[in-house]
Structure 1
Amino acid sequence: MAETEPEVEVNGEAEVEGEAEDDSQEQDKKQKKQTRHDGGAADLERVTDYAEEKEISAANISSAVEQFGNQRSKENKLRAARENELQKVQVKKEDIELIMNELLVSKAHAEKVLREQSGDVVAALEAIISN
């Protein structure tokens, strides 16, 4: 008995199963081609996104640098004002020497902490110890 391929009906017409397989292979090829096309579109999208980010970042960088500079100048002004305020605080040489001898710190550090604590020796000693 000779084997015949079963018939499959497609679009109202009877086709042999082997021909149906050929159609499915063609559809697979079309899908692969479409997938490659979609991949190309995705690549193009990435390139345009990169170009847009580059444009945006160039504009943002200049404003960020400006903001950073403004923030730094504000901090410097505040620091200078604080230093001027601390210079107005009167401290005794004996108190500075006491802190230097007891805690073995530099004269500048002892004087700074003593000024920050408004000349209070005990508070200055505690501040140095706690740091």
Structure 2
Amino acid sequence: MMRLKTLLLSPIFQMDAEEHESERPKKPSTHDERGAADLERVTDYVEEKELSVGLDALTAVSGTAGDASAESKAQKEIQLLKVKVKPEDVEFICNELEVSKAVAERRLKENQGDVYKALVELIG
């Protein structure tokens, strides 16, 4: 028993105890320090809240912009479906510029069936 007491009172064990105490987070001791810690927690919460509100607004704006662009793309596709192109014009562009039939047909439709404009667009 005596041996255990001397062992516990040795400088090595005392240093370990001091290290463990220093690792613990210190609690604010004065009223001002506690107030500063409370203020820090409040400002962190407010900043988090502001960020989440900003993110929600950004998502809402980008979502409506995406809907508008998708709608305009759909309108453009509908207009392109209405344009009739001649099969010989598609074949001509495919042979001369060595592009796929889909590309040739798309360019012709975008240029309302005008072969010259489609060729210029594909070359340039």
Task: Tell me the TM-score normalized by structure 2.
Answer: 0.63
Q: Deviations over 1:15-51 (max 9, x none)?
A: xxxxxxxxxxxxxxxxxxxxxxxxxx7x998876554
CA RMSD, aligned part only? 2.2
Q: Aligned pairs, how many?
A: 90
Q: State how far apart, in whole Å, the 2-side matches of 1:127 and 1:84 are.
A: 21
Aligned match of 1:113: 107
1:74 alignment partner AA: A
The structure 1 residue matched to 2:93, chosen from 99, 102, 107, is: 99
Counterpart Cα distance in 2 of 1:100 and 1:89: 19
Q: Do structure 1's residue 60 and structure 2's residue 38 form an aligned pair?
A: no
Following TM superposition, the consecutive aligned residue runs of length 4 or more in structure 1 with deviations greater than 3 angstroms are 43-52
Structure 1, gaps ≥5 residues long: 1-40
Q: Which runs of 5+ in 2 are unaligned?
A: 1-35
How far 1:67 sits from its partner (Å)?
A: 1.3
Could you tell me which residue of structure 2 aligns to residue 129 of structure 1? 123
The amino acid that maps onto 1:118 is Q
Residue in structure 1 matching 2:70, options 67, 71, 76: 76
Query: How many angstroms apart in 2 are the aligned matches of 1:92 and 1:57?
Result: 56
Q: CA deviation at 1:108?
A: 1.1
Q: 1:52, CA displacement in angstroms?
A: 3.2
| Structure 2 counterpart SS, 1:119 | coil
Question: % of aligned pairs identical?
Answer: 35
Bigger Rg over Cα: 1
Q: What secondary structure sits across from 2:63 in the alignment?
A: helix
Query: 1:55 deviation in Å?
Result: 1.4
Report SS of the residue matched to 1:109.
helix
> Which has the larger strand fraction?
1
Give the alignment's TM-score, normalised by structure 1. 0.60
Distance apart, 1:90 and its partner CA: 1.1
In 2, distance between residues paired with 1:128 and 1:44?
66
CA distance in 1, matches of 2:43, 2:122: 54
Where relative contact order (Cα < 8 A, 6+ residues apart) is larger, the structure is: 2
